[in-house]
Amino acid sequence: MGTGLKCIVLSLFLSTLLFPLVFSVSNDGLVRIGLKKMKFDQNNRLAARLESKEGEALRASIKKYKFHGKLREGEEPDIVALKNYMDAQYFGEIGIGTPPQKFTVIFDTGSSNLWVPSSKCYFSVPCFFHAKYKSSQSSTYKKNGLLSVPALTPCSYRVSLLDSRVGEDLLSVSFGGNFIYQNGNLSKGKPAEIHYGTGAISGYFSTDHVKVGDLVVKDQEFIEATREPSITFLVAKFDGILGLGFREISVGGAAPVWDNMVKQGLIKEPVFSFWLNRNADEGEGGELVFGGVDPNHFKGKHTYVPVTQKGYWQFNMGDVLIGGKETGYCGAGCSAIADSGTSLLAGPTPVITMINHAIGAAGVVSQQCKTVVEQYGQTIMDLLLAEAQPKKICSQIGLCSFDGTRGVSMGIESVVNDKNNGRMGGLHDGGCSACEMAVVWMQNQLRQNQTQDRILDYVNELCERLPSPMGESAVDCGRLSSMPKVSFTIGGKVFDLSPDEYVLKVGEGAAAQCISGFTALDIPPPKGPLWILGDVFMGRYHTVFDSGNLRVGFAEAA
């Protein structure tokens, strides 16, 4: 590592703030990990610069479950306190190794692996800003699938890597991403790579004990990340991610921490629950409870829906309502995922655009969309009035080369099944996507008995409300009181979100900006269309994940 880079890294480390981990045992017998909120010193130039980048990262990411019984007498669920960062990230702390090495992680129900930065991560800047796992300092560490092969002749001072990178004064250095140079041998670990909506990490698997609250999960397989190339991880307030999804989506087939927690008998009930505190002014960010629920976290009873596909915590959802009026998009049902690792609430572009229009969110003007409406709007209208099959209209008028059964793509590359969908003819054609959206919008207006002229004007207005490619849609902070409720039908019950609950506020005073909590995500069949109910929704509704009965429960959060 060059002298200049060392100086930069050193200065950045000296500029960061360290926050102590506070342990307390409440009088109800629950183990709680208290976390303090991270606040930036506006007079600190580095802090101000990072705060600005965090705002950019937040906008860019705007991006990668009931307990039916009672706890037995004398038994209490285990609790991990969560910290709220700008209403956009909730994270807590765990320990890995013996003695435990502390890491701040996002508890993510939308993924299944545990990963933290490795001490062998030398060439990714984000690693210098976060805690790193040191296997040499743990008495319970176990190598995982390492294959040793002869290495270059060891030298005590400098080791040159085949990819032209240089490590100086290092006992072990990264080699080609998944190779480790150690004690004169070149070892290759079981490789791992994970792609999220806003970044990717790569590294290799290791095995060690993991402490979550006061529970110790033995021999847990996890990923030591040796590369974190995304700026998302540079400005993140977490070191790694602990996935709470199913093993079916685990990279490398590794058993998730939650699975091992149940298998090792550390909890009595295979249930965990999330309470996310959306009040950013309060010190407590929320709680993740393993083994049951805290009755102080919710009001009334939970509404349960069965998990329809193991992997994610996926279930069937009914229609979406704007201001109490049905959109009709999910009238026949849509799939949804409860995802604690997603900040916002993501859904198909046609409905998100309708929501943005209703709340006055400003997106990117799509001239292509308006052109399609101008040239084909009346034809689409006539075909709908003639009761033509809506899914076939766009192919009938020549804008799509198929029968419209794939769902709207808008050219957005989905992280779900993207390898199979990237090169199909016409899949990302903008005219086809604009036509499909126009059909959905017109159907909705026809159900409301609007005039043809009003419908065409409305569709043109929606074209102007299309979200930006990065998902950002700004709203006027002063108009929250006039915005409508947005509601979701789950298990036959309507769950409302008010403007205060679906709008994110960044900054204070005159510099404050408000961002719509809804972002577009288009996933084609058979996996889509799909809704992702992230922290915007889970902050309003206490969420229970019941792996024993394969169901998810929602109740009003206290």
What residues are annotated to the active site?
108, 339
Outline where DSSP puts E strands in 10-100.
22-25, 31-34, 78-85, 89-96
Give Cβ neighbours of residue 492 (< 8 Å, ≥ 6 apart): 303, 318
Token representation of residue 555: 């109740």
Q: What is the dihedral of CA 38, 43, 44, 46, to 10 degrees?
A: 90
Look up residue 466 and give its amino acid: L
- Contact of 533 with 338, CB cutoff 8 Å: yes
Query: How far apart (Å, rounded) are the C-alpha atoms in residues 370 and 453?
Result: 15
Neighbouring residues of 497: CB distance < 8 A, sequence distance ≥ 6:
345, 485, 486, 487, 488, 517, 536, 537, 540
Q: Alpha carbon of 465 to those of 341, 360, 428, 472, 516: distances in Å?
A: 26, 8, 20, 11, 12
CA distance 162 to 152: 11
Nearest Cα residue to 299 out of 537, 554, 68, 30: 554
Going through 109-238 in order, the beta strands assigned E by DSSP cover: 114-117, 142-143, 147-150, 158-160, 166-168, 172-175, 179-182, 185-188, 191-196, 199-212, 215-227
CB-based contacts of 331, cutoff 8 Å, min separation 6: 318, 319
Omega before residue 529 within 30° of 0, cis: yes
Residue whose token pair is 């046609």: 350
**How far apart, in Å, are the Cα atoms of 378 and each of 246, 396, 397, 456, 552?**
47, 14, 12, 8, 44
**Is 413 in contact with 488 (CB distance < 8 Å)?**
no
Cα separation, 282 vs 35, in Å, equals 11
Is-contact 474 513, C-beta < 8 A? Answer: yes
